[in-house]
Structure 1
Amino acid sequence: MNLSNLQPAEGSVRNNKRLGRGTGSGRGGTSTRGHKGQKSRSGYSKKSGFEGGQMPLQRRVPKFGFKNINRIEYKGINIDVLADLNEKDSSSTIMDAAYFVKAGLVSKNTKIKILGRGEITTALEVHAHAFSKSAVEAIEKVGGKAVTL
């Protein structure tokens, strides 16, 4: 095989319909557009959401709520999850964003908040973007450190 004899797989390429090339082609005359009317003309395009003059759905349904542009989304990780991770891999006592990414809990640019559900028995140094009060208490009670990024 070389560049001179490459061709697409059998059946993967079809010829375009050749419209408006005379009556002998079978698609001359109206070029498959039917007779007259707005839709048969060139340049026709229907407005998206147009319902023939009926009040469109987008205007019938009321508006509600708002999107706070300053909201910060955190991925919550509970203390019991930290304890499980520490049981599986007790070699590192520092848990930071890279550690959570490697463990598959969060993706690279996710902000992390440590939450207080569960109990922890070993002293860990936990680095995260935010902590709940109960999480900080639980971590510091066993001699660990809660470091806010």
Structure 2
Amino acid sequence: MKLNTIAPNPDSKKTRLRVGRGASAGQGKTCGRGVKGQRARKGGYHKVGFEGGQMPLQRRLPKVGFRSKVKATVAEVRLSELAKLEGTIVDLAALKAANVVPAQALRARIVASGEFAKAVTVKGIHLTKGAKAAIEAAGGTVEA
């Protein structure tokens, strides 16, 4: 094989359409733009999504979904993640130090998920009923 013999497969590369080169070229006179109107002119077309004054599709369809701004500030912690923590006192600072919750979290919430058998003291963190029962069953305490 030689570099000068390499070529793409036949008909895999389509030649560019050269408009405005006369009637015999197939795209003469108006060059496939029709007659008059905004689309016939040079210098751009219209805004993306503009439908000629008709109510655009993105405004005709109903709004879907909701993104909570609170969600970014409240972190959820599983009991199984809590078991990996060093020390016996669990508060927001300890959770941030252990990279269990993100640094921008303002609040945390412990949920009952996974096994837990460690006596810890939970301070200033919201718990679900199941999580509170699991911590107290393991010999831990919950402080408000």
TM-score range, shorter chain: 0.5 to 0.7
Q: CA 1:145/1:39 → structure 2, altered by over 3 Å: closer, same or farther?
A: farther
Q: Which residue of 2 aligns with 1:116?
A: 112
Work out the CA distance in 2 between the residues paired with 1:113 and 1:50. 46
Matching of residues 1-149 of structure 1 within 5 Å:
49-63=49-63, 72-73=70-71, 74-83=74-83, 85-86=84-85, 89=86, 92-110=87-105, 111-148=107-144
> Contact 2:77–2:101 (CA<8 Å) still a contact in 1?
no
> Contact 2:76–2:111 (CA<8 Å) still a contact in 1?
yes
Please report how far the alpha carbon of residue 124 of structure 1 lies from its aligned counterpart in structure 2 after TM superposition: 0.3
Q: Which amino acid aligns with 1:114?
A: I
Provide TM-score, normalisation by structure 1: 0.53
Q: What SS does the corresponding residue of 1:63 show, helix, strand or coil? A: coil
Q: Which amino acid aligns with 2:135?
A: I
> Contact 1:101–1:107 (CA<8 Å) still a contact in 2?
yes
Q: CA 1:65/1:129 → structure 2, altered by over 3 Å: closer, same or farther?
A: same
Q: What SS does the corresponding residue of 2:108 show, helix, strand or coil? A: strand
Say which is worse superposed, 72-81 or 129-138, in terms of deviation. 72-81
Work out the CA distance in 2 between the residues paired with 1:79 and 1:136. 10
Count how many residue pairs are aligned between Structure 1 and Structure 2.
Answer: 102
Q: Which entry has the higher C-alpha Rg, 1 or 2?
A: 2
Please report how far the alpha carbon of residue 82 of structure 1 lies from its aligned counterpart in structure 2 after TM superposition: 1.0
> Contact 2:75–2:102 (CA<8 Å) still a contact in 1?
no
Identity across the alignment (%): 38
Provide TM-score, normalisation by structure 2: 0.55
Work out the CA distance in 2 between the residues paired with 1:62 and 1:141. 49
Q: Which amino acid aligns with 2:109?
A: K
